[in-house]
Amino acid sequence: MVSQARIRRSFVTAAEIAERAGVSRSAVSRTFTPGASVSNAMRARVTAAAETLGYRVNRLAQSLTNARSNIVGLVGADLQQPFHAGLLAALSETLLADGFQCMLLNAANAGRDMGAIIERVLEYRVCAIVVMNGTPPSGIVKECLSNGVPVILVNKTMPGFAVDTVVSDHAAGGRAAADRLLAAGCRRLVVVSSGARTASLVGRIDAFRKRAAEADVPVRLWQTGPTDYATGRDAALSMLDDDAVDGAFCVTDLLALGFIDAARIDRGRSVPRDLSVIGFDDIPQAAWNAYRLTTFRQPVRSLTDQVMKVIRRRAETPDLPHAVFTLPATLVERNTVRAATQPQRRAR
């Protein structure tokens, strides 16, 4: 049992390490500063003392000295949704492996106003802010940029602002979804979305409807409620009250899963014999045997890798032109769309 006398009430300090190693305080600082000049003998004495006492570098104190930390702020809402949770896991894992620290700011309880959230992040001298979903107020973005903090948007755009953007090709996915349903012989189409008007969802919807219009096929639109399973169910119960609909593009997989369950259980429709359904995101549940959903896979790993490239690039060359990086979404064929009866158009 550890005696009460041995229980510390504070962290080991650099001054204690200096005293034990018989070196100056500045020698300790140089030892734990990447790239700083220190002899091998000095480094060995300091690290030995640090290991003995259990010393850990105070990165927050370093950030005050350097005017910048190695903390990256990850900001988002609806983080319980499978796609957002997967993106968060990939980003945080990669950041930590690359020597960065993560600060997660969940904007779900901030009324989706990210202003106060991002202001708090700036207090920690972050080296970058990654906005995973939701849109920060323009004034806050300006404040970040004026303080030299890069802002990286994932799956959203802010035209007119000097920010880097990493997006999936939502328009190409919407066009390809229309082509796949048309190739399956579907001619009575619906699009199921939510009340959210995010750039990614709108991009999928608009591209799908435009491609269907080019084929002279009308499209009904459901666009109300949160982006979740229950909204998909509500859409199916409302839109499948007759046998007219034979093809549905649900702009997220959660919507698609709710739509399929209501179609099968409440409306007695067979998927895909009577009704073909396509989703978007390729969340883990899409591959469950109960669904085997045909969907579009957002390249989470590629999105993450590109975000990391932007963070490193901004750290090394802050004045480089800002850019939009568009990555392809891939059609994943499973069991919820009938076999093609005619050739598909090549996605453009």
pTM of the model: 0.78
Q: Is residue 245 predicted with pLDDT exceeding 80?
A: yes
Check whether 176 has a pLDDT greater than 60. Answer: yes
Residue 274 belongs to a domain with what CATH number?
Answer: 3.40.50.2300
Examine residue 347 and state whether it is found in any structural domain, yes or no: no
Q: Is residue 286 part of a domain?
A: yes
**Domain assignment of residue 336, yes or no:** no
95 and 158 assigned to the same domain: yes
Residue 342 lies in a domain: no
Which range of residues forms the domain containing residue 107? 68-169+300-329
Q: Is the pLDDT of residue 113 over 70?
A: no
Asked, for residue 102, whether it belongs to a domain, the answer is: yes
Do 84 and 157 fall within a single domain?
A: yes
Chain segment 1-12, per-residue pLDDT in tens: 444 444 555 677
281 and 180: one domain?
Answer: yes
Within-domain flag for 345: no
In a domain, 346, yes or no: no
Q: Are residues 156 and 52 in the same domain?
A: no
Final residue belonging to a domain, choices 20, 37, 57: 57
Residues 182 and 249 both lie in one domain: yes
Q: Assess whether 175 and 282 both reside in one domain.
A: yes
| C-alpha distances out from residue 5 to 8, 19, 259, Å | 8, 21, 63
Check residue 31 and give its pLDDT.
83
Residues 245 and 262 placed together within one structural domain of the fold: yes
Q: Are residues 307 and 165 in the same domain?
A: yes
Domain membership flag for residue 348: no
Give how far Cα 129 sits from Cα of 90, 124, 228, 253, Å: 16, 11, 27, 27
pLDDT in tens, 76-104: 777 888 998 999 999 999 998 888 888 88
Query: Is 72 within 8 Å of 100 (Cβ atoms)?
Result: yes
Same domain, 190 and 278: yes
Neighbours of 336 (CB within 10 A): 23
* Total of domains in the chain: 3
What does the longest C-alpha to C-alpha distance in the chain come to?
Answer: 85
Evaluate if residue 206 carries a pLDDT over 70.
yes
